[in-house]
Amino acid sequence: MIEANTVSESTTATSAAPGRHDSLVIDGIALESRLIMGTGGAPSLDGLGAALVASGTSLTTVAMRRYSPAESGSLFQLLVDHGIRVLPNTAGCFTARDAVLTAELAREALETDWVKLEVIADEHTLLPDAVELVDATEQLVNRGFKVFAYTNDDPVLALRLENLGATAVMPLGSPIGTGLGILNPHNIELIVSRANVPVVLDAGIGTASDAALAMELGCDAVLLATAVTRAQDPALMGEAFKHAVIAGRLAKEAGRIPRREHALASSAMEGRAEFL
Amino acid sequence: MNITLNGASRTVADGASITALVSEVTGRALSADGQATDGQRLGVAVAHNSEVVPRSKWHGTALADGDDVELVTAVQGG
């Protein structure tokens, strides 16, 4: 039987940066924040920068697209300027072939072998295509990539991806951009309980409490974009998520009380004043 | 000669290297190792006829008439 989170917990304890006892360590890199940000949906680069800073994120994902002189390279520079590590993704890829080629381009352009692997089935659901995802994970691991696999909330598939060498598994809470939160908390808990690599709740987060719940369920981090970039006040929402992830993590560590059928008095009945 | 860059036809000098093309499109001066001479990171990658070309090989890769080149960078998304 697999012990829950052996790898991530032990690496967290031994190699976190001084003074930060709760960094998330991935591939030997300590990330101070457990909030991984996406960049899709932001109306302006300035607004995005403010939201990213307010969220306190240490790692942010970007898409790879054709270079356009009109909007050249400023997002990458923005992340570099703010000291935020970049996690390129393969958003928009429908096949393992396209995802592998996109990852290779990202590694070359951004000089990192980390990749958020996203292979979607169709534009209507944006759900991962499990068959292509498994194929691409295997190819990318063989090519030396650190694969952050965006996957369905399927405990069997999550374990398959880990066994293929994924660096992190990233189950969805609900479909991308829906803001429906975590539709199957039981499956997320099951994925966490069997994983020996970091589990990142990715996609479907609507508001701060969804992120807190993900952490309470035992996820090592949360990845979100739309919930911040399309909020009425993205910077304020970014800050809300920063606190939510910390709060959820602390609550998980603290150990919640068991749920009970009936009330349990918190005050002693003895010694009450008696009124005649 | 003509090549296809990011899906559009483009005229380049005969035998131009990938370095010359990238430098022309991005407006950044590049050294032979494919790094920007201004010291900032370039942040782009090239696929030449569907094969990714490492920046260290841009200088030694000559384009030919009819070649297909994809030049990509990081944008918002995902």
Do A76 and B50 lie within an 8 Å CB cutoff? no
DSSP state of A86: E
pLDDT value for B78: 81
Residue A43 has pLDDT above 90, yes or no: no
d(CA A58, CA A11): 18
Q: Find chain A residues with C-beta within 8 A of B72's C-beta.
A: 64-67, 105, 109
Q: Which of A111, A68, A57, A116 is nearest to A92 (CA)?
A: A116
pLDDT digits (tens, 9 = 90+) for A158-180: 999 999 999 999 999 999 999 99
Residue A218 has pLDDT above 90, yes or no: yes
Judge whether A265 lies within some domain.
no
ipTM of the complex: 0.91
Closest partner residue to B77 (CB to CB) among A39, A71, A86 is A39
Structurally, how many domains does chain A consist of?
Answer: 1
d(CA A118, CA A35): 19
Distance, CA of A249 to chain centre: 13
Taking a contact as any Cβ pair under 8 Å apart, which residues of chain A between 216 and 275 contact chain B?
225
**Pick from A50-64, A72-86, A98-112, B19-33: least confident:** A72-86
Confidence at B27, pLDDT banded by 50, 70, 90: confident
**Pick from A81-90, A195-204, B24-33: least confident:** B24-33
Residues 6 or more apart whose Cβ sits within 8 Å of residue A37:
A51, A52, A55, A57, A59, A60, A61, A223, A224, A225, A228, A238
B78 touches chain A (CB under 8 A): yes
pLDDT digits (tens, 9 = 90+) for A245-271: 999 999 999 999 999 999 988 888 889
Q: What dihedral do alpha carbons A239, A241, A246, A250 form, nearest 10°?
A: 140
Beta bridge partners of A29: A26
CATH number where A207 lies: 3.20.20.70
pLDDT value for B4: 95
Distance, CA of A201 to chain centre: 5
Structure tokens at B76: 């918002």
pLDDT value for A2: 44
Residue A20 has pLDDT above 60, yes or no: no
Beta bridge partners of A59: A36, A85
Confidence at A41, pLDDT banded by 50, 70, 90: confident
Residue A97 has pLDDT above 80, yes or no: yes
A41 touches chain B (CB under 8 A): yes
Give yes or no: A116 in active site.
Answer: yes
Domain of A98? 6-254
Pick the CATH number of B2-73 from 3.90.226.10, 3.40.50.720, 3.30.1120.80, 3.10.20.30: 3.10.20.30
